[in-house]
Each structure stands twice: as C-alpha cells, then as structure tokens.
Amino acid sequence: MIVKLKQHYHQIPEQVRQFLLRGLIIFIVWKVVYIFFLMPGRMLDGPLTEVTGYLTAQALSLFTEASSFVADNKSFIYIDGDKAVHIADSCNGLILFIIHLGFIIAFPSTLKRKLLFGIGGVLTIFALNIIRCAVLAVISREYLTIVDHHFVFNLIIYALIFLIWQINSRALADEKA
C-alpha cells in the first residue's frame, strides 16, 4: 500500500506537490496560532467583528431608506431600533481572508504579485462581506429567514475567491510567457 502511495505521489507534478505542501504547512501553522493564541482572547475576531458591524450599519445608511442604523459593541445591527441581524465572529470574513491568503502564499509567484493579489483580494472579500451583512440585515428585517443565507452568500464569496485565484494564476502564466 505504501509503495502504491509513493508511486502516485511521484506522478504528481513537482510544482503541485510544492503547492500542496506549502498549503498544508500554512494551514497547520494558522490553526495552531489561531486556536491557542488568537481565538481565546478574540484578538483578531473581536476588532474585525466590530468593524464589520460598524461598516455594515454605515453601508445600510447609504443604501436604504430606514432612518437609523446602529451597530452595538456586540455587532448586533439595529434598523430603526429593531434588531435586524447579529454579526457573529464566524461571519466576520476572517476565515475567508485566511483561505485566500493561504492560497496566494502557497502559489508560486513573485513577492510583488503576492502582495498585490493578497491585499487586493482581502479588501475585495472584506467589502463583499460588508455588502453581504447589509443585505442579510434587510432580508432578515423584511422577509425574516426565507433564504438559507449561509449557502447562497458563501457560494458567492467562494466563487469570488476562486475568480481572484484564476486571475492571479493567469496573470502569472502571462508574465512567464
């Protein structure tokens, strides 16, 4: 069995093996750092969730007709005094940033390209997540929970991340050609 695994392993192109190894190392390091150091004190989640809540309220005030939008320090979004949605730590986009950055770091490319696509991708994902939270607030206020928002919005965001990866890989291929 081990011999067959080694045979299959060596059939995988070297660049793919390196990408997968880098990705695995990044994933393990991230999980250890997050679970043991960052998650218990909400070092990243706390501020990111609060900023997401605040910017969601700001986006709602720009694009909807209700008179007031408030995000409290627990990231509940209120529309005209009614609780519309709660932005939990799991909805702040952090895991999406990490998935995106992990791919960009693991992908063979120049530092300049990694920085460009890493930062640009995170900002794009962050903006889309704010829009997602604002839309969810309106939907939950107007239509309660008639859609499975996790499935629909996750599909959209993961498709966007995949598109960013494709643009990055094509730009790298064009650069090498």
Confidence (pTM): 0.80
* Domain coordinates in residue numbering, the chain: 15-176
Average per-residue pLDDT for the chain: 83
- Is residue 130 within 8 A of residue 54, CB to CB? The reply is no
Does the pLDDT value for residue 146 go beyond 60? no
Does the pLDDT value for residue 134 go beyond 90? no
Does the pLDDT value for residue 147 go beyond 70? no
Does the pLDDT value for residue 6 go beyond 80? no
Note the pLDDT of residue 49.
92
| Strongest mean pLDDT among 1-5, 18-22, 37-41, 133-137 | 37-41
Note the pLDDT of residue 149.
59
Cα separation, 81 vs 2, whole angstroms: 63
Between 146 and 88, name the one with better pLDDT: 88
Note the pLDDT of residue 172.
67
Lowest mean pLDDT among 9-18, 92-101, 112-121, 139-148: 139-148
